[in-house]
Amino acid sequence: MIRCILGACLILAAGQAVAAAAQSMQAPDGQAMVQAAHLHLRGLDTLNGTAQDIDIRAGDTTRFGQLEITAEACRVPQDDPLGDAYAFLKIRDVREQTARFSGWMFASSPALSALDHPRYDVWVVSCTP
């Protein structure tokens, strides 16, 4: 039981390290990051089982079902722009006042920092400069 608790803490600490690295323009392994202009997201409507690709520019807002998605920033490794992507998103259900999600999402680890919504899932697929 203690291992599960400690394991969860280690996962959270790793997620915080990745978020701090994405914010500082340096990957967790020390690799330099660059801003990307276009984000490629995927949304899933779990009620009807349909998935939709969402392309958005950094700084823009778009709709997916009842969600309003604002892409604040996206960063990719400088030496491998097609590698992992780190996107800062704000996601709000239009029927609610507060955001459902505000933070960094990681293409390589979508469950590490995920949207908590009863109907929709949104995750980062990639970012391109």
DSSP E strands: which ranges in 1-129? 33-35, 38-45, 50-57, 61-64, 67-77, 86-93, 101-106, 120-128
pLDDT in tens, 61-118: 999 999 999 999 999 888 877 778 999 999 999 999 999 999 999 998 888 889 999 9
User: Can you give the length of the chain in residues?
Assistant: 129
User: If you search the block for the tokens 């690295």, which residue do you land on?
Assistant: 21
- For residue 123, pLDDT over 80 is answered with yes
Q: Which two tokens stand for residue 91?
A: 């996601």
CA distances from 24 to 40, 60, 66, 86, 109 (A): 22, 22, 32, 11, 19
CA atoms within 13 A on the CB side of 47: 6
pLDDT of residue 111: 84
User: What are 19-63's pLDDT values in tens digits?
Assistant: 554 455 666 667 788 899 999 999 999 999 999 999 999 999 999
- In the block, residue with structure tokens 């915080």: 16
Has this prediction a pTM greater than 0.85?
no
